[in-house]
A and B are shown apart, each in its own frame.
Chain A
Amino acid sequence: MSLAAEHPVHDSPRSIRWARRRASAADAWGRFRRDRMALLAFAVLAAFVLMAFLAPFVSDRADFSAINTGDNPTNHPPDGQFLLGTDSLGRSMALQVLWGARVSLFVGFAATVLMIGIGVAVGLAAGFFGGWTDALLMRITDWFMVIPFLPLAIVLATILERSLTTIVMVIGVTSWPSTARLVRSQVLSIRERLYVDRARALGAGRLHIVGRHILPNVTPLILANTTLAVPIAILTETTLSFLGLGDPTQVSWGGILESVGTTAVKAGYWWQYLPPGIGIVMVVLAFTVIGRALEAVLDPRLRER
Chain B
Amino acid sequence: MSVLELRNLHVTYRTEGGLVPAVRGVNLVLEEGDTVGLAGESGCGKSTIAAAVLRLLPRGTEVTGAVLLDGEDVYSMKPGRLRAVRWTGAAIVFQGALHSLNPVRRVGQQIEEAIVLHSSQAAHSAHSARSARARVGELLERVGIPAANADRYPHQMSGGQRQRVLIALALACDPKVLIADEPTTALDVMVQAQVLALLEELQREHGLSLLFITHDLSVLTHTCQRLAVMYAGRIVEEGSSSEVFTHPQHPYSRALTAAFPTIGDLASRMNPRGLAGDPPDPSALPAGCSFHPRCAVATPECTTVDIALRQVAVGRRAACVHVGVPA
Q: Using a CB–CB distance below 8 Å, which chain A residues touch chain B?
A: 13, 16-17, 20, 193-195, 197-205, 208, 212-213, 216-217
Interface residues on B, range: 20 to 34
Closest A-B pairs by Cβ, 7 of them: A203-B86, A194-B99, A203-B83, A195-B102, A198-B100, A194-B100, A202-B114
Given the complex, which residues of B lie within 8 Å of A213, measured CB to CB?
102, 105
CA distance A13 to B54 in the complex (A): 35
Given the complex, which residues of A lie within 8 Å of B113, measured CB to CB?
199, 202, 204, 212
Given the complex, which residues of A lie within 8 Å of B126, measured CB to CB?
none
One of B84, B94, B101, B150 near A203 (C-beta < 8 A):
B84
Given the complex, which residues of B lie within 8 Å of A195, measured CB to CB?
99-102
Q: Could you tell me if B87 and A201 are in contact, using CB atoms closer than 8 angstroms?
A: yes
Q: Could you tell me if A203 and B85 are in contact, using CB atoms closer than 8 angstroms?
A: yes
Q: Could you tell me if B56 and A194 are in contact, using CB atoms closer than 8 angstroms?
A: no
Q: Using a CB–CB distance below 8 Å, which chain B residues touch chain A?
A: 54, 56, 82-88, 91-92, 94, 96, 99-105, 113-114, 117-118, 133, 148, 150-151
Q: Could you tell me if A194 and B96 are in contact, using CB atoms closer than 8 angstroms?
A: yes
CA distance A212 to B104 in the complex (A): 10
Q: Could you tell me if A216 and B105 are in contact, using CB atoms closer than 8 angstroms?
A: yes
15 CB contacts below 8 A, A to B, read A13-B150, A13-B151, A194-B94, A194-B96, A194-B100, A195-B100, A198-B94, A201-B86, A201-B87, A201-B94, A202-B87, A202-B114, A202-B117, A213-B105, A217-B102
CA distance A195 to B166 in the complex (A): 11
CA distance A203 to B85 in the complex (A): 7
CA distance A198 to B88 in the complex (A): 14
CA distance A197 to B118 in the complex (A): 17
CA distance A17 to B148 in the complex (A): 10
Given the complex, which residues of B lie within 8 Å of A17, measured CB to CB?
151
Nearest residue (CB) in B for A193 is B99
Given the complex, which residues of B lie within 8 Å of A205, measured CB to CB?
83
Given the complex, which residues of B lie within 8 Å of A200, measured CB to CB?
56, 86
CA distance A213 to B113 in the complex (A): 11
CA distance A193 to B150 in the complex (A): 22
CA distance A216 to B110 in the complex (A): 13
Q: Could you tell me if A203 and B118 are in contact, using CB atoms closer than 8 angstroms?
A: yes
CA distance A199 to B166 in the complex (A): 12
Report the minimal beta-carbon distance from B104 to chain A, rounded to whole angstroms.
5
Q: Output the residue of A194, A202, A205, A217 with the most chain B CB within 10 A.
A: A202
Report the minimal beta-carbon distance from A304 to chain B, rounded to whole angstroms.
16
CA distance A249 to B258 in the complex (A): 88
CA distance A198 to B95 in the complex (A): 11
Given the complex, which residues of A lie within 8 Å of B87, measured CB to CB?
201-203
Report the minimal beta-carbon distance from A193 to chain B, rounded to whole angstroms.
7
Q: Could you tell me if A203 and B56 are in contact, using CB atoms closer than 8 angstroms?
A: no
Nearest residue (CB) in A for B111 is A202
Report the minimal beta-carbon distance from A56 to chain B, rounded to whole angstroms.
41
Report the minimal beta-carbon distance from A206 to chain B, rounded to whole angstroms.
10
Nearest residue (CB) in B for A194 is B99
CA distance A205 to B118 in the complex (A): 11
Q: Could you tell me if A197 and B56 are in contact, using CB atoms closer than 8 angstroms?
A: yes
CA distance A45 to B182 in the complex (A): 55
Given the complex, which residues of B lie within 8 Å of A204, measured CB to CB?
83, 113, 117
